[in-house]
Amino acid sequence: MTSNFFKILNSIHSKTVIITGASSGIGRACALVFATEQPNLVLAARDTKKLKEVAELCRQKGAKVLIVATDVAKEDDCKNLIMETIHKFGTIDILINNAGLSMRALFAETDLSVLKKLMDVNFWGTVYCTKYALPELLKNHGSVVGVSSIAGYKGLPGRAGYSASKFAMNGFLETLRIENIKKNLHVLICAPGFTASNIRNTALTKTGVAQSESPLDENKLMPPEEVAKAILAGIKSRKKVIILSTIGKLTVLLNKFFPYFMDKMVYNRMAREADSPFK
């Protein structure tokens, strides 16, 4: 009886969940993992063809699904996403800010438009969606999730714009949590390590062109489903921060006490990548 009560209490059944960047990678995995609990799912991304494919798989698992074509770098798109969600399902309980973009180039050689684009997607996309969803989330004592990165805790060479955007996301979400500490708003920052997804294939070069090929062996990286399950568990237990992977946890921990040592370690690690922009 007691176990069933807590199971129902922690369920997201019939709750309304928005997932940005839901067409692939961690966002797609979140959609499929969350769908098993039969919530109202709102899937957002630019690629509507892929969204429709994900939506059908989610419906087969019992979820009610709305897809909204959204470029999170555009404020009006984010506002429309929230309005469409409320129009369809009446409210918002969980917002997962997952849409993201990476880069791979030395800052000295990178066009500034690349950094601006990363900030627009990774940081401002989170800000826009959260701003417009916040009234409903506060009303429901809901959850705001930011899919960050270990790069949001330790600067990664060759990823200046990516690290900057994730540091900014972390600071924004932490401030949001503190400002609403008496309003029972749940704010979760999830920092995966290297995860198997297409984010490295779409990572921008110094000129802003997608590099198209990952420098890592994607088969050896953390599966996105593992990240999705951790996020779901984190929402249910209302955790504040989730650092994933052993290397990720060690990086964040050691950086607190031995930052200069970690500078060298991170440099050496990233320099070993195939076609690294620095040696």
Q: In a structure prediction context, what are the per-residue pLDDT tens digits for the chain, which is 279 residues long?
A: 444 433 444 689 999 999 999 999 999 999 999 999 999 999 999 999 999 999 999 999 999 999 999 999 999 999 999 999 999 999 999 999 999 999 999 999 999 999 999 999 999 999 999 999 999 999 999 999 999 999 999 999 999 999 999 999 999 999 999 999 999 999 999 999 876 666 556 789 888 887 665 555 556 678 999 999 999 999 999 999 999 988 899 999 999 999 999 999 999 988 888 778 876
Taking the C-alpha atoms of residue 148 and residue 163, their distance in angstroms, rounded to an integer, is: 9
Interatomic CA distance for residues 222 and 63, integer angstroms: 26
* pLDDT score recorded for residue 212: 60
pLDDT at 276: 80
Which of 216, 215, 204, 201 shows the shortest CA–CA distance to 105?
204
Structural domains for the chain: 2-271 (3.40.50.720)
Q: Which of 128, 132, 162, 260 is catalytic?
A: 162
As a whole number of angstroms, the distance between CA 164 and CA 170 comes to: 10
Q: What local confidence, expressed as pLDDT, does residue 8 receive?
A: 42
- Say what the pTM is: 0.91
Residue 162 annotated among the catalytic residues of the structure: yes
